[in-house]
Structure 1
Amino acid sequence: MVDAAGTPPTRPAAADRYRWTGRAAQQEPPSPPCSAIRVPRSTVSLSSPHSPWRSLTYRSMRWWSLANLVSNAGTWMQLTVQNLLVLQITGSAAATGLSLSVQAAPGLLMGVAGGAAVDRWPRKLTAAVSQALLGTVAFTTALLIAFDQLNLPALMALAAVTGLIATVDGPACSLLGNDLVRAEDVPSAIGVGSLVSNAGRLAGTGLAGLAVGVFGTGAAYVANGVSFLFVAAVIPFLRPVTHTVTRKAAPADTDDDMSVREGLRFFARRPRLVALAGITGISAIFGRNYGLTLAVLVTGPLAGGAGSFGTVSTVLAVGGIIGAVLGARLRKPSVRLVGTLAAAGALLQVVAGLSPSLAVLLILVLPMAVVESVSDTAGTTVLQTDPPAEMRGRVLGVWGSIKTVWGLAGPPALGLLMELAGARGALVAGGLLIAGAIGAGHLLRRRAPTPVLTPVPAPRPALSTAA
């Protein structure tokens, strides 16, 4: 699956061109006098510094958003039928879970190496090739389905290959999207990407049933393959705003693993990134799994049914969209903002766990989803813009490995907590753990001694002994 997260006018305005750096700026030909007409400055709602849609003033961003809409629709068409297909082939729910784990395993083991590859190779070429390879895997699966040759070993091999390619494709596509806009417009690009992802999900799940009903299960894989090739065809025409710094080839006396260790060392020594990882990790494990906790709360203590939980899910989706729009208005979010939003969401989760009725829960669910979505946009922006350009691929690689750990550890830990404390107790205890951990981290940071720099006196000039 392609995680959407990503752009410049055909000819930038003169004021924008002076902000460019590197060789790309020097080679940019002068714009013709009429070039400003191509991106109308009269569109105040888009060009405003705090407009959530300001990234769409870049022509390449508009194309990138369209490509990601198509890609996400294709991905969700495949995901909608994938588990059903595995069950049909194997007849085992355990095999379905195993296929998901096999696909996630490369992200845990090879995520940092994939990020290092993104730092070394040209970004547009890397993203285009990885998209084409993912499309090839989808077409191969469709062919095996058509000829009734898809068995469990082939399924696991395809899942492993998909996960391996994704370790490169994820950071490459995320950073390529950021290259298409100026740094202050990255939150807008991420917010638009979130909206595109939600729209693609709705379109994909709706089209999946139609395609499978008419053409069969393999149609979803064909559609996904076509969507990958569409993205690969769009990438060569994108024009980054800033010159991407790529790492030079390693000397003969070093090996490729050096850059992997460098990425791990950089992440571990960057307090902002470590704090962001801690905040996001504890929130992912003890909160945000609302598909599990709220489902048990609604159908258990609140005595609702599937329809009631469907209403809660709809409100969560609406809140996510509102939060994405609000998050896109940010310009330079900080880790402190991410922590504040995560703590606020945790306290809302505590109150939601004490909800006496479904109506009260619905009132609380909307701000919970909004806060979570804004926090995600702010955190993603910090993650993708805080490191220097030549380190961002490796940082995203480390982050991908950490995120895989959360994804594997979160549901079992939360399930155990629900077994011990029930749905209400899990929501309340989880929220208190999140808010308490973030508050404790903030206090420790404030009490940490600030290093005092002692000024070193300048050396006195030597006295001349000449007569």
Structure 2
Amino acid sequence: MRFPAPRRALGAAKGPAGGRKGDHAPWRSLRYRSMRWWSFANLVSNAGTWMQLTVQNLLVLQLTGSAAATGLSLSVQAGPGLLMGLVGGAAVDRWPRKVTAAVSQAVLGVIAFTTAALIAFDQLNYGILLALAGVTGLIATVDGPACALLGNDLVPTEDVPSAIAVGSLVHSVGRLGGTALAGLSVGVLGTGAAYAANGLSFLFVAAVIPFLRPVSAALRRPAGEPDGAAAAPAAPAAEPEPEAGTGARDGLAFFLRRPRLVALAAVTGLSAIFGRNYQLTLAVLVTGPLGAGAAAFGTVSTVLAVGGILGAVLAARLRKPTVALVGALAAAGALLQIVAGFSPSLVVLLVLVLPMSVVESISDTAGTTVLQTDPPAHMRGRVLGVWRSASTGWGLVGPPLLGFLMELAGARGALVAGGLIIAGAVAAGALMQSRRRAATGPVPVPCATAA
């Protein structure tokens, strides 16, 4: 099996990255055959992953009968991302990307098959399940950044937003399909079938990876042309760059010296903690102050999902997203969240939920694009490793902190306070940036345009 070279559109003016100049088609990344195969492989993998995740909680409950034990199993699987994210990112920068992704996918498949076999022979207990969850989380610290960066390598830099948005849609569709298939597999074939199916999905991805053909470096990193310079933002000359080493500390040092990345982390972290736990805050708002039931929250969840898909389609049209755009979208979402906190009825809330979800989806795609394209190629794995550690941290801190806030101020108060925190932080950051620019003085005007 051999893929031909990636196809590029002909007959139109070409940008520096080889595609149509100014092309904003949402699905433009799928013009590349390797990207189409990668998207299909990820659809299969996502369906398998959600089959396993859906069944895993049921399995823990069967083994222990404890909801707390279920939560502990999820924390054990997430823990390596917090503690080992930097090391995993450094490994991705050190090792060949295709080999790293293929091996990590194969190992995850072996873990899934092992779990299925233990279930089949009635040898699985809670301790073994925790150990397997921990190993899965450890492998994921390498697999996550390796697969993300490999997908980006399959398209020119300016088409990365499209590739990320396509990945978001694939994730959503895979989640719906995997959740549905989980119920079917458990009912007909038993719990172990979901793990076996997930193992097959990992092996399918591992089998596809060797045949993927990344676009050439010349297309991914254009130089010397105005559009190319804008498409792949480079650090100012005065900004220190770390050595091209392979240590995890280099990634952390680089991240902290990169103002754009620090600002992105601050905005995303605040939004994740105070503004995006809608499954928690809106559930309490709908079933509490609005006096509706679980079915009504199901409707809210459906609207959130639809808004996420619409946002992904719109985000796929982006070509050169910036941290400023991410901040503006975060502020817009925060203002919508504040208004949602005052919703007098379910109907009004539903009207607000759709744009809230759309804005969140666009912001996610824009932020991910900046994160994965701003650093130089040799640092991207470590930057994603830093991000994984940070995002795991605020993912663990967010729900209990928000729950405490709702205990103090109620669902409405938590939505309003969270929105004010996000919007206030974005406004303060924009003001500081404006003052910093003013302090550096005006940009010199070329002599030819002087009066």
For structure 1, the 5+ residue unaligned runs are: 1-6, 22-40, 246-255, 454-467
Q: Pick the aligned partner of 1:180 from 154, 173, 187.
A: 154
- Offset, 1:144: 0.7
**Paired amino acid for 2:172:** N
Match of 2:275 in 1: 287
Q: Distance in 2 between the 1:20 and 1:235 partners?
A: 23
**Paired amino acid for 2:359:** V
**Paired amino acid for 2:316:** A
**Cα distance 1:452–1:420, how it changes in 2: closer, same or farther (>3 A)?**
same
Are the counterparts in 2 of residues 8 and 180 from structure 1 also a CA contact under 8 Å? no
Identity %: 76
- Offset, 1:400: 0.2
Are the counterparts in 2 of residues 8 and 241 from structure 1 also a CA contact under 8 Å? no
Quick check: which has more Rg, 1 or 2?
A: 1
- Offset, 1:81: 1.1
Match of 1:64 in 2: 38
Q: Distance in 1 between the 2:196 and 2:364 partners?
A: 32
Are the counterparts in 2 of residues 20 and 241 from structure 1 also a CA contact under 8 Å? no
The question of 1:374 aligning with 2:362 is answered yes
Match of 2:168 in 1: 194
- Offset, 1:19: 5.8
- Secondary structure of the 2:301 match is helix
**Cα distance 1:367–1:422, how it changes in 2: closer, same or farther (>3 A)?**
same
Q: Distance in 2 between the 1:272 and 1:386 partners?
A: 9
Task: Write the mapping of 1:30-49 to structure 2, written as runs, cut at 5 A.
Answer: 49=23
Match of 1:150 in 2: 124
Q: Distance in 2 between the 1:360 and 1:384 partners?
A: 37
**Paired amino acid for 1:131:** Q
Q: Pick the aligned partner of 2:108 from 107, 111, 134.
A: 134
Task: Write the mapping of 1:57-136 to structure 2, written as runs, cut at 5 A.
Answer: 57-136=31-110
Match of 1:239 in 2: 213
Task: Write the mapping of 1:257-336 to structure 2, written as runs, cut at 5 A.
Answer: 259-336=247-324
The question of 1:224 aligning with 2:198 is answered yes
Q: Distance in 2 between the 1:290 and 1:11 partners?
A: 40
TM-score by length of 2: 0.88
Q: Distance in 2 between the 1:111 and 1:372 partners?
A: 24
- Offset, 1:448: 2.1
For structure 2, the 5+ residue unaligned runs are: 222-243, 443-451
Q: Distance in 2 between the 1:53 and 1:257 partners?
A: 36
- Offset, 1:18: 10
1:251-309 per-residue CA deviation (whole Å, 9 max, x = no partner) reads xxxxx996111111000000000000000000001111000000000001111001100
**Cα distance 1:355–1:94, how it changes in 2: closer, same or farther (>3 A)?**
same
**Paired amino acid for 2:216:** T
Q: Distance in 1 between the 2:190 and 2:22 partners?
A: 47
Match of 1:212 in 2: 186
Moved more, 95-104 or 280-289: 95-104
Q: Distance in 2 between the 1:17 and 1:242 partners?
A: 16
Are the counterparts in 1 of residues 17 and 156 from structure 2 also a CA contact under 8 Å? no
Q: Distance in 2 between the 1:13 and 1:349 partners?
A: 41
- Offset, 1:447: 1.2
The question of 1:418 aligning with 2:418 is answered no
Are the counterparts in 2 of residues 72 and 204 from structure 1 also a CA contact under 8 Å? yes
Are the counterparts in 2 of residues 8 and 181 from structure 1 also a CA contact under 8 Å? no
**Paired amino acid for 1:351:** V
- Secondary structure of the 1:418 match is helix
Q: Distance in 2 between the 1:18 and 1:434 partners?
A: 37
**Cα distance 1:119–1:258, how it changes in 2: closer, same or farther (>3 A)?**
closer
Are the counterparts in 1 of residues 290 and 346 from structure 2 also a CA contact under 8 Å? yes
1:54-111 per-residue CA deviation (whole Å, 9 max, x = no partner) reads 0010000100000000000001111111111001111221111111111111111110
**Paired amino acid for 1:211:** S
Q: Distance in 2 between the 1:146 and 1:289 partners?
A: 37
TM-score by length of 1: 0.85
- Secondary structure of the 1:326 match is helix
- Offset, 1:156: 1.1
Match of 1:161 in 2: 135
**Cα distance 1:441–1:139, how it changes in 2: closer, same or farther (>3 A)?**
same
RMSD of equivalent CA atoms: 2.4
